[in-house]
Amino acid sequence: MNAAERLWRALGRRDWDGARAQFHPAAVVERPSSASSLDVDELIADHREHAARGDFDVHVIRCLSAGTTIVIEARVGSARCAGLYDLHEAKIAGAVEYWVRP
């Protein structure tokens, strides 16, 4: 299992420390649909906020890997995410997530 899969499993368990552990400290996650870039702490805070509001049942639909690039398609409650994760030394060094929220 790679760091992106471990990230999504940790999010599903609301294991925020486990999710954080999958990233390099300086990693940035871009979210073009909201024109934002989040560092690891901001990303975890965003997921915690959504989990606190409910509708946070996480389901990974598929995971594809090509070397150090991982693609995850997931459903989080009524939202959908397609994420591209770049790994370096087995940790997420950067990512781009495309979210569709109702």
pLDDT 10s digits, 8-34: 999 999 999 999 999 999 999 999 989
* Rounded alpha-carbon distances, angstroms, from residue 80 to 59, 86, 99, 100, 102: 10, 20, 6, 5, 9
What token pair was written down for 75?
A: 């459903």
Cα gap 27→12, rounded to integer Å: 21
What is the pLDDT averaged over residues 38-59? 94
Give start and end residues of each alpha helix (H) in 26-80.
40-52
pLDDT 10s digits, 75-99: 999 999 999 999 999 999 999 999 9
Q: Which helix (H) or strand (E) holds 101?
A: none
